[in-house]
Amino acid sequence: MTSSAPLGAAVRLLRSADAARAYTLTTLLAVLGAHAIESTAGSVTLGTIIVSLDLLGVAIVVARRRELRPLGFAPTSFVAFLAWALVSTIWSYDDDATLGGWLSLVGYGFLALVIAHIRDTLQTVRALGDVLRWLLSLSLGLEILAGVLLDMPFPFLGIAGQIANGGPIQGVFGTRNLLGFVAVVALVTFLVERRTRSVPQATAVFSITLAALLAILSASPTAVVLAGSVAVALLALALVRSTPPQRRRSLQWTLAVAVVLGLALAYALRHPILRWLDATAGFSLRADLWNEILTWVQNRPIQGFGWHGEWEGDAYPLNVINVLLGQSHASALNAFFDVLLQLGWVGLLLFTALCGVAFVRSWLVASERKSTVYAWTPAVLTALIVDSMFESFTLHGAGWLLLVLCAVRAGQSRSWRESLDLVASGGESQDPLGPAR
Residue type, 94: D
- H or E segment to which residue 106 belongs: helix 95-118
Residue 4 falls within a domain, yes or no? no
Q: Among 30-34, 40-44, 74-78, 366-370, which stretch is predicted with the lowest mean pLDDT?
A: 366-370
Residue type, 188: V
Rg of the chain on CA atoms, in Å: 22
SS3 93: coil
User: Which distant-in-sequence residues (6+ apart) come within 8 Å of 93 by Cβ?
Assistant: 305, 306, 315, 316, 317
Q: What does the alpha-carbon distance between residue 372 and residue 87 come to, in Å, rounded to a whole number?
A: 40
Q: Is the pLDDT of residue 253 over 80?
A: yes
The 10s digit of each residue's pLDDT in 381-393 is 999 999 998 889 9
Q: What is the pLDDT of residue 436?
A: 39
Residue 340 falls within a domain, yes or no? yes
Q: What does the alpha-carbon distance between residue 73 and residue 69 come to, in Å, rounded to a whole number?
A: 6
Residue 384 falls within a domain, yes or no? yes
Residue 381 falls within a domain, yes or no? yes
- Give the mean pLDDT of the chain: 86
Q: What is the pLDDT of residue 416?
A: 47
Q: Is the pLDDT of residue 332 over 60?
A: yes
Q: What does the alpha-carbon distance between residue 294 and residue 287 come to, in Å, rounded to a whole number?
A: 11
Predicted TM-score (pTM) of this structure: 0.90
Instruction: Judge whether 40 and 156 are in contact, CB under 8 Å.
Output: yes
Q: Is the pLDDT of residue 32 over 90?
A: yes
Instruction: Print the domain residue range for 284.
Output: 69-118+248-437
The 10s digit of each residue's pLDDT in 51-83 is 999 999 999 999 888 887 777 788 999 999 999
Mean pLDDT on 119-148: 93
Instruction: Judge whether 111 and 57 are in contact, CB under 8 Å.
Output: yes
Please report which residue ranges of 145-269 form alpha helices under DSSP H.
176-195, 201-217, 221-242, 245-268
Domain count, the chain: 1
Q: What does the alpha-carbon distance between residue 174 and residue 155 come to, in Å, rounded to a whole number?
A: 10
Instruction: Judge whether 363 and 378 are in contact, CB under 8 Å.
Output: yes
Residue 196 falls within a domain, yes or no? no
SS3 158: coil
Please report which residue ranges of 269-334 form alpha helices under DSSP H.
270-281, 284-297, 318-325
The 10s digit of each residue's pLDDT in 370-382 is 888 999 999 999 9
Residue 324 falls within a domain, yes or no? yes
Q: What percent of the chain has pLDDT over 70?
A: 89
Residue 157 falls within a domain, yes or no? no
Q: What is the pLDDT of residue 418?
A: 53
Residue 365 falls within a domain, yes or no? yes
Q: Among 157-171, 215-229, 415-429, which stretch is predicted with the lowest mean pLDDT?
A: 415-429
